[in-house]
A and B are shown apart, each in its own frame.
Chain A
Amino acid sequence: MDSYNAPESTPSASSRPEDYFIGATPLQKRLESVRKQSSFIPTPPRRKIPQCSQLQEDVDPQKVALLLHKQWTLYSLTPLYKFSYSNLKEYSRLLNAFIVAEKQKGLAVEVGEDFNIKVIFSTLLGMKGTQRDPEAFLVQGLILSPRLEYSGTILVDCNLCLLGSSDPSTLAFQVAGTAGACHHTRIVSKSQLPSENREGKVLWTGWFCCIFGDSLLETVSEDFTSLPLFLANGAESNTAIIGTWFQKTFDCYFSPLAINAFNLSWMAAMWTACKMDHYVATTEFLWSVPCSPQSLDISFAIHPEDAKALWDSVHKTPGEVTQEEVDLFMDCLYSHFHRHFKIHLSATRLVRVSTSVASAHTDGKIKILCHKYLIGVLAYLTELAIFQIE
């Protein structure tokens, strides 16, 4: 409140936070960072445009292929207590038995027995922003089918439905963007499963990572492994079982990570700013208008090159994205739309952004398309996850 003035001292005379937190324990550092976050604008006003060179060389391309073109549900995760990378085999045995026991409620199972469900833990070497970031790791739940005679690769079909809403109940109409060219693209990717004795169908995949998580790493001691971002693909019930096991075993806490409209527009700007050799998808925005009885969705698709051209016209600081630029970029889109349809998009809610780099939904769903900018996309998501657990 502005009108308040402490009768005895001016605000500037008060002791500065630094005086209070010299040699503080991690817990106090943590509180301090929470205070900083809550008192200022939650996000820094400028970020780097994702660069392509960041993805380190030693990442297994097969594993990366597993991560791309899949819809992931995002979760934030508090640091894992006493997690050890040397015990991954043991963990997979335990988790395996846990899942089987959970699936057949009431029947006990022996740990290490052969089940028709198999869990594999594996590290994603090199999936990190800095050397300090802990190693990312992948958990796969396979269902083994003894009837499966053939061996080799299994084709995983990822249909990218680029335009229109997949949900027929919502009224969607499409707007041709500046160039007017919208096209459906169908991407079929071959994904190789990790070579095992028995081949199986991937039932569930989840991975844990931390890209440029320095702010979190500073505040936890060595008993903890900070992997604040967790991405899951598969049935929610399976995520629940596996998440419960992790929570019980490592005393961590999963919470769904939603992406608000503010962050979505940042994503839109940053991903549009990425240099692409060729575009595989239209840049598309989806707004939702909450009106009864049915909500109204507005989809706005733009040719990616036009979007890039628009971005270049608002972009000033090389290599970086600033808050003003993001706002300006979105404002340009809004005014363009308003000119044609007399609808103020700024009064609606942005719920989805999809570009050739990646697409994100406000419910915390993400799909990464571009191999080059994988780390860049994850870095921003890590930042959001850390913000949620701070």
Chain B
Amino acid sequence: MSPQKRFKNVQAQNRTSQGSSSFQTTLSAWKVKQDPSNSKNISKHGQNNPVGDYEHADDQAEEDALQMAVGYFEKGPIKASQNKDKTLEKHLKTVENVAWKNGLASEEIDILLNIALSGKFGNAVNTRILKCIIPATVISEDSVVKAVSWLCVGKCSGSTKVLFYRWLVAMFDFIDRKEQINLLYGFFFASLQDDALCPYVCHLLYLLTKKENVKPFRVRKLLDLQAKMGMQPHLQALLSLYKFFAPALISVSLPVRKKIYFKNSENLWKTALLAVKQRNRGPSPEPLKLMLGPANVRPLKRKWNSLSVIPVLNSSSYTKECGKKEMSLSDCLNRSGSFPLEQLQSFPQLLQNIHCLELPSQMGSVLNNSLLLHYINCVRDEPVLLRFYYWLSQTLQEECIWYKVNNYEHGKEFTNFLDTIIRAECFLQEGFYSCEAFLYKSLPLWDGLCCRSQFLQLVSWIPFSSFSEVKPLLFDHLAQLFFTSTIYFKCSVLQSLKELLQNWLLWLSMDIHMKPVTNSPLETTLGGSMNSVSKLIHYVGWLSTTAMRLESNSTFLLHFILDFYEKVCDIYINYNLPLVVLFPPGIFYSALLSLDTSILNQLCFIMHRYRKNLTAAKKNELVQKTKSEFNFSSKTYQEFNHYLTSMVGCLWTSKPFGKGIYVDPEILEKTGVAEYKNSLNVVHHPSFLSYAVSFLLQESPEERTVNVSSIRGKKWSWYLDYLFSQGLQGLKLFIRSSVHHPFPEQRA
């Protein structure tokens, strides 16, 4: 103990000799001292851990010691005491230990603050006390107000004042309420005069300022200070906050690269603050974040037109403030009750304030804010949407790297921008009109490579509209690229068309069931919409048939095509929309005669779903009896039955060329297949042949030659079970539904 004490005495001498300027040195010295004690504390803690009782007793003892210490300080220094220094040191040590370990209760803080600022003890003691005032959970507002009142008396030294302000800034979040403190705004503001205090007071004011605190005379005072002291970062930050609240009074533009505006007041208490935050995690509400981080202001700009592509979120107080003189009463009322965007943090907040939300000054900024996207989604206010529309269309047009020839170096940025838009569209499950307009303009110029995935995703989010209207603007251009590009491009186009169909269907099924939507995009009948969807499906059918020919029946492509039809076949049941469109023969027969089992399996599944949908439609027709306009024509049923017959012929009855497929017998003779009439079924179909062989080998592994024709009778059903066990669920469903039972709709 004694060497340390001597060390401290030296420090104390230092302090007195150097006066207030030695602040930094004291700080470092204190740290040096603090650190070992801290580590000792921890190690002690580690030893004690297994012995719970002991620790408890220890806590109790500590508590008593703390009470004594606080009592000692409260009474004030006892004059002419022999071992005054020693006792003081002991008590100080106790307080410091407890404070850093567990924090102090708010009553203790109240007393200690009082002592530290009343100047009962010397400067050194005050400093030490202030440094260890760490709350266990919260600090009561009253104690802060009392402490501030001591500042007015002028009993404490400059350095103590500085330390107090630093402490106040650091502990600001832990003060339970701030109304009373805000009433002292004028006092704090006046303290700006003091050069030493100014940076810390600025920081405090930055935390404290509310809109009503910003007054013209204060603005002028700050500007005077600025004139006197020059460009000080802390002053800049406060001024920019003032500008934020009162743009009609003050204007400031922060330099671009500046990040730190305040001297870090917290680093004295860094570890302690973390601990307090951890203790507080539970019940106490998270303090509100700073409203305006200085980083919010103007990022580095590339072009003047786009600071970054998406503007920063800012309330529109600007425009409102502008017409001050002409401001109507309702505007005034609106303003007082309005909710600044910067405080919007959570969805419940949005719901509570949705009627009085201050809209951003630049509507484009909503793109980065999911809460505001919600708002945009439900708002029916035309100006809001129009502002967003204009911003987005123009930005897309300006940023698009192929629309304006000279833009190629910003490809990355444009890709990111498109990604942001797509994220927003997915989030809202709705396409933007601006994107549609952008597609119309830019698609004819697109090379099919730039931002391909983003661009095709935009296509899939085109809002529902009349197909025949969109076709010449969009799909005809897309088709040109489709036919001239690689198979991968074809697949991705089909993929995005599938998504487009899905989005349209979802939208339509919602629209039908929520009829009262007043201004739905299209004032049209359900029949019109269905017509449009069916045209889209037919169009994709045409695209895929041609693509199959171009890519010589690629299996890969066929997968994507069948994926599309997996959506199509289920429209009636999944989306409750009266539409069944079958696939074109070019797709059906390619799939049926494919060499790939998974294709055939998928085809079986689709046929099964078609069957379900058609049966359901038929049933509904019979139930309703009324002739609605959406009765499917018998043509659809006939077509389906024709497909079904071919399929059953090919997979089951081994009569492929009877009813279904017609091939000239002469050609069939030429193939040289002896028994062509019976050569296609679930055993002989080329895509199943390997299954048949491995089935037979499984039965009799030692067999040298296998005769697949031996699969019949009982073996046939074992074979089927084997196929089903191989994961051919589509086939299973198809055979269960279409083969084992009579087909009721065949006679339809």
Binding site for B on A (CB under 8 A): 1, 4, 6-9, 11, 14-15, 17, 19-28, 30-31, 34-35, 38-39, 78-79, 81-82, 84, 86-87, 90-91, 94, 97-98, 100-102, 105-111, 220-221, 223-224, 236-237, 239-241, 243-244, 247-255, 388-390
Inter-chain contacts of B541 with A (CB < 8 A): 7
Q: Is the CB of B398 within 8 A of A250?
A: no
Q: Is the CB of A108 within 8 A of B222?
A: yes
Inter-chain contacts of B322 with A (CB < 8 A): 84, 87, 90-91, 94, 249
Q: Is the CB of A38 within 8 A of B441?
A: yes
Q: Is the CB of B538 within 8 A of A101?
A: no
Inter-chain contacts of B469 with A (CB < 8 A): 17, 20, 35
Roughly how many angstroms separate A80 CA and B376 CA in the complex, as a whole number? 20
Q: Is the CB of A252 within 8 A of B390?
A: yes
Inter-chain contacts of B382 with A (CB < 8 A): 25-27, 221
Q: Is the CB of A254 within 8 A of B305?
A: yes
Roughly how many angstroms separate A243 CA and B441 CA in the complex, as a whole number? 25
8 A-B pairs whose Cβ atoms sit less than 8 Å apart in the complex: A20-B465, A26-B386, A34-B440, A34-B441, A81-B383, A81-B387, A110-B223, A250-B319
Q: Tell me, yes or no, whether B652 is within 8 Å of chain A by CB.
A: no
Binding site for A on B (CB under 8 A): 219-220, 222-223, 226, 231, 235-236, 239-240, 242-243, 247-256, 258, 304-305, 307, 311, 314, 318-319, 322-326, 361-363, 382-383, 385-387, 389-391, 393-395, 397-398, 433, 436-437, 440-441, 444, 465-469, 472-473, 476, 479-480, 519, 521-524, 528, 531, 534-535, 538-539, 541-542, 584
- Using CB atoms, name the residue of chain B closest to A91: B322
Q: Is the CB of B387 within 8 A of A239?
A: no
Inter-chain contacts of A388 with B (CB < 8 A): 397
Q: What 5 A-B pairs are tightest by C-beta distance, nearest first?
A: A240-B304, A97-B251, A14-B468, A108-B252, A108-B239
- Using CB atoms, name the residue of chain A closest to B320: A82
Q: Is the CB of B251 within 8 A of A101?
A: yes
Known A101-B253, A105-B253; further 18 A-B contacts with Cβ < 8 A: A1-B476, A15-B468, A20-B522, A20-B524, A25-B519, A27-B389, A30-B389, A82-B319, A86-B323, A91-B322, A94-B251, A106-B253, A107-B226, A108-B243, A111-B248, A239-B304, A248-B311, A251-B391
Contact of A251 among B361, B480, B534 (CB under 8 A): B361
Inter-chain contacts of B479 with A (CB < 8 A): 1, 4
Roughly how many angstroms separate A109 CA and B219 CA in the complex, as a whole number? 9
Roughly how many angstroms separate A111 CA and B383 CA in the complex, as a whole number? 29
Q: Is the CB of A255 within 8 A of B539?
A: no
A305 to chain B, nearest CB (A): 37
Roughly how many angstroms separate A276 CA and B325 CA in the complex, as a whole number? 49
- Using CB atoms, name the residue of chain B closest to A76: B394
- Using CB atoms, name the residue of chain A closest to B319: A82
Inter-chain contacts of A38 with B (CB < 8 A): 440-441, 444, 473
Inter-chain contacts of B304 with A (CB < 8 A): 236-237, 239-241, 243-244
Roughly how many angstroms separate A101 CA and B300 CA in the complex, as a whole number? 16
Contact of A6 among B307, B385, B538 (CB under 8 A): B538
Q: Is the CB of B394 within 8 A of A389?
A: yes
Contact of B473 among A21, A23, A35, A390 (CB under 8 A): A35
Roughly how many angstroms separate A86 CA and B637 CA in the complex, as a whole number? 69
Inter-chain contacts of B466 with A (CB < 8 A): 14-15, 17, 20
- Using CB atoms, name the residue of chain B closest to A239: B304
Q: Is the CB of B254 within 8 A of A4?
A: no
Specify which of B235, B251, B254, B256 lies most central, judged by the most chain A CB atoms within 10 Å of its CB: B251
A24 to chain B, nearest CB (A): 7
B384 to chain A, nearest CB (A): 10
Roughly how many angstroms separate A25 CA and B247 CA in the complex, as a whole number? 34
Specify which of A24, A102, A251, A389 lies most central, judged by the most chain B CB atoms within 10 Å of its CB: A251
Q: Is the CB of A87 within 8 A of B251?
A: no
Q: Is the CB of A253 within 8 A of B395?
A: yes
Specify which of A22, A39, A97 lies most central, judged by the most chain B CB atoms within 10 Å of its CB: A97
Roughly how many angstroms separate A323 CA and B664 CA in the complex, as a whole number? 58
Roughly how many angstroms separate A98 CA and B251 CA in the complex, as a whole number? 6
Inter-chain contacts of B524 with A (CB < 8 A): 15, 19-20
A219 to chain B, nearest CB (A): 9
Contacts A4-B479, A20-B469, A78-B394 hold; do A110 and B249 have CB atoms under 8 A apart? yes
Roughly how many angstroms separate A34 CA and B539 CA in the complex, as a whole number? 23
Inter-chain contacts of A252 with B (CB < 8 A): 390
Q: Is the CB of A97 within 8 A of B231?
A: no
Inter-chain contacts of B324 with A (CB < 8 A): 90
B357 to chain A, nearest CB (A): 16
Roughly how many angstroms separate A38 CA and B473 CA in the complex, as a whole number? 7
Inter-chain contacts of B383 with A (CB < 8 A): 81, 221, 223-224
Q: Is the CB of A23 within 8 A of B523?
A: yes
Contact of A30 among B220, B248, B433 (CB under 8 A): B433
Contacts A87-B326, A106-B231 hold; do A22 and B523 have CB atoms under 8 A apart? yes
B364 to chain A, nearest CB (A): 8
Contact of B534 among A8, A17, A223 (CB under 8 A): A8
A194 to chain B, nearest CB (A): 22
Q: Is the CB of B519 within 8 A of A106?
A: no
A263 to chain B, nearest CB (A): 16
Q: Is the CB of A106 within 8 A of B305?
A: no
Q: Is the CB of A109 within 8 A of B535?
A: no
Q: Is the CB of B394 within 8 A of A255?
A: yes
Q: Is the CB of B314 within 8 A of A248?
A: yes
Contact of A109 among B252, B362, B436 (CB under 8 A): B252
Inter-chain contacts of A79 with B (CB < 8 A): 386, 390
Inter-chain contacts of A7 with B (CB < 8 A): 538, 541-542, 584
Q: Is the CB of A253 within 8 A of B391?
A: yes
- Using CB atoms, name the residue of chain B closest to A223: B383
A110 to chain B, nearest CB (A): 5
Inter-chain contacts of B314 with A (CB < 8 A): 248
Contact of A248 among B223, B361, B523 (CB under 8 A): B361
Roughly how many angstroms separate A163 CA and B389 CA in the complex, as a whole number? 44
Roughly how many angstroms separate A102 CA and B254 CA in the complex, as a whole number? 8
Q: Is the CB of A94 within 8 A of B248?
A: yes
B5 to chain A, nearest CB (A): 49
Roughly how many angstroms separate A30 CA and B314 CA in the complex, as a whole number? 27
Inter-chain contacts of B361 with A (CB < 8 A): 248-249, 251
Contacts A4-B542, A27-B385, A34-B441 hold; do A84 and B250 have CB atoms under 8 A apart? no
A87 to chain B, nearest CB (A): 5
Contacts A82-B319, A249-B361 hold; do A100 and B394 have CB atoms under 8 A apart? no
Specify which of B222, B249, B390 lies most central, judged by the most chain A CB atoms within 10 Å of its CB: B390
Q: Is the CB of B250 within 8 A of A94?
A: no
- Using CB atoms, name the residue of chain B closest to A241: B304
Inter-chain contacts of B465 with A (CB < 8 A): 20
Roughly how many angstroms separate A8 CA and B635 CA in the complex, as a whole number? 11
Roughly how many angstroms separate A23 CA and B252 CA in the complex, as a whole number? 46
Q: Is the CB of A107 within 8 A of B252?
A: yes
Roughly how many angstroms separate A20 CA and B468 CA in the complex, as a whole number? 12
Inter-chain contacts of A24 with B (CB < 8 A): 519, 521, 523
Inter-chain contacts of A6 with B (CB < 8 A): 535, 538-539
Inter-chain contacts of B390 with A (CB < 8 A): 78-79, 252-253, 389
Specify which of A27, A91, A108, A390 lies most central, judged by the most chain B CB atoms within 10 Å of its CB: A108
Roughly how many angstroms separate A109 CA and B250 CA in the complex, as a whole number? 6
B458 to chain A, nearest CB (A): 15
A361 to chain B, nearest CB (A): 16
Roughly how many angstroms separate A24 CA and B522 CA in the complex, as a whole number? 8
Q: Is the CB of A97 within 8 A of B394?
A: no
A224 to chain B, nearest CB (A): 7
Q: Is the CB of B319 within 8 A of A78?
A: no
Q: Is the CB of A28 within 8 A of B480?
A: no
A40 to chain B, nearest CB (A): 10
B444 to chain A, nearest CB (A): 8
Inter-chain contacts of B240 with A (CB < 8 A): 108
- Using CB atoms, name the residue of chain B closest to A12: B468
Inter-chain contacts of B522 with A (CB < 8 A): 20-21
Roughly how many angstroms separate A251 CA and B313 CA in the complex, as a whole number? 12
- Using CB atoms, name the residue of chain A closest to B243: A108
Q: Is the CB of A111 within 8 A of B250?
A: yes
